[in-house]
């Protein structure tokens, strides 16, 4: 479960709120799409969820644990896939995944089982023992996903996860997201690709200028607007907000 209660963020040298009074509650077994134009506050919100930034106001609960009060316990429940890779080029894919598995205390048996499945899905078996410096952008993204899922986190956060993935890998990632949801976990992801959000999400939240301007299932959001697709809805809502 992921719960954001009246979360706001104001940066030190700014007069305005980057994120303003955002309330989101994602239950287990849900894929939540977080969409918004550039500079709307998506990344700031995600950084607060994963504990890199502290909210100026409000609180964030990960699986029932307040991240501000018990950061380590809360973070153990998160798997995070970023859009920019901070990978360790001198390590092999295997060493990188093993490092993460060690940090999260995953047993040798579990990590082998999970690795085998994920490597198979992403077609990374052959490259697993190669140095990360030799990987393409897409391969780095795949190893990033494998690393994020190695401890089977109850809350999986993805920031623009489809960037750089080939169609097969994008399909594999979408399958994984659905599988993760079906196991009763939370999948929270930001995207610019509205078609992906439309097809994959159980609910979406639209953020603009730091405020959550609309939230719900596509039907609920569409009910109040005359639009035939998420793209039309998104454009209509963000234009109205401006």
Binding footprint of another protein on the chain (CB under 8 A): 50-52, 54, 71-73, 75-76, 78, 80, 84, 86, 88, 90-91, 95, 99-100, 102-105
Least Å distance between CB 234 and another protein? 29
Q: Which lies closer to another protein via its Cβ, residue 85 or residue 174?
A: 85
Least Å distance between CB 67 and another protein? 11
Q: How far is the C-alpha of 109 from the C-alpha of 116, rounded, in Å?
A: 11
Least Å distance between CB 113 and another protein? 20
SS3 category, 83: coil
Q: Which lies closer to another protein via its Cβ, residue 10 or residue 73?
A: 73
Least Å distance between CB 225 and another protein? 36
Q: How far is the C-alpha of 68 from the C-alpha of 53, rounded, in Å?
A: 10
Nearest to residue 221, comparing CAs of 121, 240, 69? 240
- CA separation (Å) from 123 to 128, 142, 173? 10, 9, 12
Least Å distance between CB 13 and another protein? 14
Q: Which lies closer to another protein via its Cβ, residue 144 or residue 208?
A: 144
Alpha-carbon 160 to chain mean position: 7
- CA separation (Å) from 200 to 130, 165, 187, 193, 217? 33, 16, 10, 11, 11
Q: Which lies closer to another protein via its Cβ, residue 38 or residue 86?
A: 86
Q: Which lies closer to another protein via its Cβ, residue 95 or residue 202?
A: 95
Helices (H), 5-77: 42-49, 71-75
């Amino acid at each position: 479960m992921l719960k954001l209660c009246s979360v706001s963020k104001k940066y030190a040298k700014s007069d305005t709120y980057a994120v303003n009074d955002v309330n989101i509650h994602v239950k287990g077994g849900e894929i939540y799409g977080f969409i918004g134009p550039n500079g709307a506050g998506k990344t700031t919100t995600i950084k607060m969820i994963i504990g890199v930034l502290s909210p100026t106001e409000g609180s964030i609960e990960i699986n029932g644990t307040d991240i501000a009060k018990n950061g380590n316990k809360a973070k153990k429940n998160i798997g995070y896939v970023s859009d920019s890779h901070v990978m360790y080029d001198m390590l092999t894919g295997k060493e990188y995944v093993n490092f993460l598995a060690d940090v999260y205390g995953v047993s040798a048996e579990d990590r082998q089982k999970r690795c085998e499945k994920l490597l198979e899905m992403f077609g990374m078996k052959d490259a697993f023992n190669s140095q990360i410096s030799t990987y393409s952008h897409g391969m780095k993204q795949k190893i990033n996903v494998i690393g994020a899922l190695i401890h089977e986190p109850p809350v999986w956060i993805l920031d623009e996860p489809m960037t750089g993935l080939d169609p097969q890998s994008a399909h594999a990632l979408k399958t994984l997201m659905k599988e993760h949801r079906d196991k009763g976990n939370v999948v929270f992801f930001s995207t610019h690709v509205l078609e992906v959000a439309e097809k994959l999400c159980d609910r979406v939240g639209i953020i603009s200028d730091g405020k959550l301007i609309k939230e719900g299932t596509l039907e609920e959001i569409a009910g109040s607007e005359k639009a035939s697709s998420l793209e039309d809805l998104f454009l209509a809502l963000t234009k109205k907000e401006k």
